[in-house]
Amino acid sequence: MKTLQSSLLFFSAALLLNQPCMGAPGQWEVTGSMVQGRNQQTATLMPTGDVLVIGGYADGSSLSSAERYNPVRGTWSKIVGLPKGIYGHTATLLPNGKVLVAGGFFKNNLRAAELLDPVSGTWSQTGHLNSPHSGHTATLLGNGKVLVAGGYGCGTICSAVDLDQTASAELYDSVTGTWTVTGSMKQPRGSFTATLLPNGKVLVAGGFKLNNGDLSSAELYDPATGRWTYTGSLVTARSGHTATLLPNGQVLVAGGDKDNGFLASAELYNPVSGTWTATGSMTVARYAHTTTLLPDGTVLAAGGLGGTGDILASAELYDPATGTFTRTGDMNDARAVYTATLLTTGKVLVAGGTGGVVGYLASAELYDPGD
């Protein structure tokens, strides 16, 4: 079984040291460190401009702690954590302002769901998922419901050796606090991406299936019918990649893994034709990295695991106008399996991840794209 946690055991934790250029466009500046070092956490941008980080993994244990980043002060502060440690979960900001945390390893209960009220700072249970999900995707639909799909499910034991990819999908209704089963994906998959398209449909692409390897298939979920249909296949099968919706409505997929080799290649999905075409490759292969759409329409790709298994500090920009990637300033810390969040200021906050001699980073930094 291919999981991100098991894959990381095989890779170096080497740290690439870089000199920061504070506050300069196209460069990174150090900001306050998190209270707790972690990877595989979630990061959610709140309407206040703050960022909530929840759960994750460190030192052989799942984490129950949560914290808030204040972009004005550049500091982190603890908030009330979950009842139990969790990783492999998702966190979704709901229309009512609460945050839905769903699935993941929650004391081996992959069906758990919790709500955080950021105003009162309290957690409450909400309806349990119908099927277990970890390493899944969660997409807020135009109708306000949340689509949870795929990832890793399990049988009655729900141990690490019992996990397998699942095709199941379900919808969370924040008004009723309940989950309802919707159509299953055509293909069970883990380590895939899900992207909400401008037409309201959800594109899932690639991923991994035990005994099938890395997948090239892609499919669409239609909220109007609750059905999944195949769309054009990726040019290159891949898992652990990123997917970014561009201003022109196309979706950029970049990097990932194919047959245990990391990829630098990238491709574009055209929702009108339902087809994929190759675009310029990244300057280096990346896996467990992030991509972030910047206010000017370019895409920032940063960090991850490189082609030789080293942890990367490098970053680059994709320009949809030219279809090319170019290097930009390096991060101060090399990191993989971390979070990247576009702030209301236009800067990108990256936090935590795997890297360095300590293994689980608490450090955070900001990328300034400039004007």
CA–CA separation, 3 and 189 (whole Å) = 11
Check residues 63 and 156 and name the one with the higher pLDDT: 63
Q: What is the pLDDT of residues 75-134, one digit of tens each?
A: 999 999 998 999 999 999 999 999 999 999 876 678 899 999 999 999 999 999 999 999
The pair phi, psi for residue 4, each rounded to 5°, is: -65, -40
- Is the Cβ–Cβ distance between 349 and 71 less than 8 Å? yes
Q: Which H or E element spans position 6?
A: helix 4-8
- Give me the pLDDT at residue 140, please: 98
- Give me the pLDDT at residue 361, please: 97
Q: What is the pLDDT of residues 207-262, one digit of tens each?
A: 999 888 999 999 999 999 999 999 999 999 999 999 999 999 999 999 999 999 99
- Give me the pLDDT at residue 1, please: 41
pTM: 0.92
DSSP category for residue 152:
E
- Give me the pLDDT at residue 358, please: 73
Residue 85 makes CB contacts below 8 A (sequence gap 6+) with 55, 61, 62, 63, 64, 105, 106, 107
Residue 259 makes CB contacts below 8 A (sequence gap 6+) with 213, 214
Q: What is the pLDDT of residues 277-334, one digit of tens each?
A: 999 999 999 999 999 999 999 999 999 999 988 999 999 999 999 999 999 999 999 9
Q: Which H or E element spans position 8?
A: helix 4-8
Give the type of residue at 86: I
Q: What is the pLDDT of residues 140-199, one digit of tens each?
A: 999 999 999 999 987 555 555 556 899 999 999 999 999 999 999 999 999 999 999 999
Q: Which H or E element spans position 117?
A: strand 113-117
All structural domains of the chain with their residue ranges: 191-330
Residue 24 pLDDT level (bands cut at 50, 70, 90): low
DSSP category for residue 309:
S
Residue 9 pLDDT exceeds 50: no
User: Under CATH, to which class is 191-330 assigned?
Assistant: mainly beta
CA–CA separation, 16 and 293 (whole Å) = 25
- Give me the pLDDT at residue 269, please: 99
